[in-house]
């Protein structure tokens, strides 16, 4: 089944790739905290992001929507940069960036 709604198609492509960015960011985020319980909780969020990505891919495959190479590269780089920055800037900024990413995701779901 083909999807004829260009904005929704692009939004799904973007959501798929943004889940990868979020998962990468949570890897660094988990490593930036010292408390083992917090690390485990943050790691679970990372796992949830990979699962979300898998679910979005199923939707994309159902509607024959291709994965965007541009978004994959863009959000892959963003996620890796946030991940790497977690090792440098400590624990506060990862929380801030995670909040920004997630609030953006909520806005995308409304759209």
User: Could you tell me the residue range of the domain that residue 44 belongs to?
Assistant: 6-110
Nearest in space to 80 (alpha carbons), one of 26, 12, 30, 31: 26
Indicate whether 28 belongs to any domain: yes
Structural domain total, the chain: 1
Indicate whether 79 belongs to any domain: yes
108 within 8 A of 11, measured Cβ to Cβ:
yes
The answer to whether the predicted template modeling score (pTM) of the entire model surpasses 0.75 is yes
Question: pLDDT digits over 45-99, tens only?
Answer: 999 999 999 999 999 999 999 999 999 999 999 999 989 988 887 767 666 766 7
Indicate whether 1 belongs to any domain: no
Indicate whether 73 belongs to any domain: yes
Indicate whether 26 belongs to any domain: yes
Indicate whether 81 belongs to any domain: yes
Indicate whether 69 belongs to any domain: yes
Indicate whether 34 belongs to any domain: yes
């Amino acid at each position: 089944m083909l999807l004829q709604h260009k904005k929704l198609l692009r939004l799904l492509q973007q959501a798929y790739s943004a889940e990868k960015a979020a998962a990468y960011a949570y890897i660094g985020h988990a490593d930036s905290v010292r408390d083992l319980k917090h690390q485990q909780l943050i790691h679970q969020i990372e796992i949830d992001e990979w699962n979300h990505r898998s679910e979005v891919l199923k939707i994309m495959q159902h509607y024959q929507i291709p994965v965007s190479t541009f978004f994959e590269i863009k959000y892959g780089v963003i996620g890796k940069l946030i991940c790497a920055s977690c090792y440098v800037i400590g624990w506060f900024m990862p929380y801030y960036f995670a909040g920004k990413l997630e609030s953006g995701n909520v806005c995308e779901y409304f759209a």
